[in-house]
Amino acid sequence: MSDLLSLPDIKTIEPPQENETDMMFKVEAVGPPERCPECGFDKLYKHSSRNQLIMDLPIRLKRVGLQLNRRRYKCRECGSTFWERLISVDEKRSMTKRLLKSIQEQSMSKTFVEVAESVGVDEKTIRNVFKDYVALKEREYQFETPKWLGIDEIHIIRRPRLVLTNIERRTIYDIKPNRNKETVIQRLSEISDRTYIEYVTMDMWKPYKDAVNTILPHAKVVVDKFHVVRMANQALDNVRKSLKAHMSQKERRTLMRERFILLKRKHDLNERESFLLDTWLGNLPALKEAYELKEEFYWIWDTPDPDEGHLRYSQWRHRCMSSNSKDAYKDLVRAVDNWHVEIFNYFDKRLTNAYTESINSIIRQVERMGRGYSFDALRAKILFNEKLHKKRKLRFNECPCVRNKFHTIHSCYINKENCVGVVFNTGTRFNCTDKCKFEVMNYFYI
């Protein structure tokens, strides 16, 4: 009889019974234990037995149960009794270890109900497995400290939550239950190697800036450019709305329908859109002035030269404040004046919070998938999702011995028997005696 289970210490004793959704195998241990776990004596005898239900991985999309004839043995030497031990079974959960691993992985991306239905285990058990797995991950994982840190917030479970991302590596870093200044300070202070952080991108939320300046005084704050240029779009849209009062109902509907044309960059318009834009601007001088201010503000960020960017803004500000649209743009002017340094730090690396914003959309998908999750469960499903994070590994050039080898590689020749690595561009071997030897070996061993 072929063994469908392929478990090393369990064998089937008769063909499985099955229906449309489930399969049941009668199984027993491959052999008796060799020695008493208490005294090590090898003279044992069968004392009693009982049937135990052990759940296993599905086969052909059918849930699998193992009816295990579990035997108890008694030692002739010390008199102790014990149940036979099976390395394939997780005793705490009454399931195979491979099923436990599968549940751990699935619970990160699927709802608890979905996992429970697919493997035939109670939903409460799935939640408990998930909880234990998350606790293990919290102890084991060390997330890579970002060189470029993104700070943002997202509204989930009826309140704003703090989201931290690694912009350079495009991974999520952490999620906290609120975005209070104290919470941000506490989280940043927990980063042991925080001096590694060079830039922090954010929106114009002063508690973020204050927290970063307190804990990361060496890091440059960069206000996300898209939050700034969006205010120019809002100013233009306010002008459009103010003009509707003097239009017919048909003109209002048309202007509303073609609003997106005003908000697009002029160089992105097609021929039809350009014609419609010229028509509106030709008939509405106030709208034309506001539109040109919007386009000129966007133009500031097109230059790669920070000095040119400052000059363009100065010219734009002068024109704006002497125009009829100055009231519409006053909030934008005030924001740039108040956050001038942080906004123009954009030109250093042209960093934005675009990745953080994209992460927020994924977070919302996870929240919709599992209505009723607690914040801790939702955080874990996001934070330990393999698609959204990376476990920290030392960069190759962070190993002190490797850095030294790069500087002295031509004068350093190591005995072949002692080699554990190689510099690919020269073929010269080196021996890493630093603690990070195994990290280097994982990737460069030959």
- Number of Cα atoms under 13 Å in the Cβ half of residue 53: 8
List own/partner pairs for 99-108 with CB under 8 A and 24 or more apart: 99/55, 99/56, 99/57, 100/129, 102/57, 103/129, 103/130, 104/129, 104/130, 104/133, 107/133, 107/381, 108/380, 108/381, 108/384, 108/385, 108/386
Residue type, 88: S
Question: Look-up: residue for tokens 């043995």?
Answer: 73
What pLDDT score was predicted for residue 425?
A: 36
Residues forming a β-bridge with 64: 23, 56
Which residues are CB-neighbours of 63 under 8 A, at least 6 positions away? 21, 22, 23, 55, 118, 119, 120
Torsion over CA of 72, 74, 80 and 85, rounded to 10 degrees?
-40
Phi, psi of 374 (to 5 degrees): -75, 165
CA–CA separation, 417 and 42 (whole Å): 44
Distance (Å, rounded) from C-alpha 47 to C-alpha 81?
8
What does the block give as tokens for 180? 């209070």
When computed from its CA atoms, the radius of gyration of the chain, rounded to whole angstroms, is 32
Question: Within a 10 A sphere around the Cβ of 282, how many other Cβ atoms?
Answer: 10
What one-letter code names the amino acid at 303? T
DSSP state of 143: B
| pLDDT the model gives residue 387 | 55
Q: Going along 167-212, which residue ranges are E strands?
A: 171-176, 199-202
Report residues of the chain scoring pLDDT below 50. Answer: 1, 390-394, 398-446
Q: For residue 255, what are its two tokens?
A: 């202007």
- Distance (Å, rounded) from C-alpha 333 to C-alpha 341? 14
- Quick one: 434 exposed, middle or buried, by C-beta within 10 A (0-12, 13-18, 19+)? middle
Contact indicator for 40, 81 with CB cutoff of 8 Å: no
Closest CA to 183 of 157, 211, 155: 211
pLDDT at 79: 82
Please state, in angstroms and rounded to a whole number, the distance separating the CA atoms of residues 299 and 439: 47
Strand partners, 187: none
Tell me, which fold does domain 148-223+353-383 have in CATH? Nucleotidyltransferase; domain 5 (3.30.420)
The single-letter code of the amino acid at 39 is C
pLDDT given at position 389: 52
How many CA atoms lie less than 13 Å away from 50 in the CB half-sphere?
7
Q: Rounded distance, CA 420 to CA 437, Å?
A: 8
Q: How confident is the model over 254-269, as pLDDT tens digits?
A: 766 677 888 888 888 8
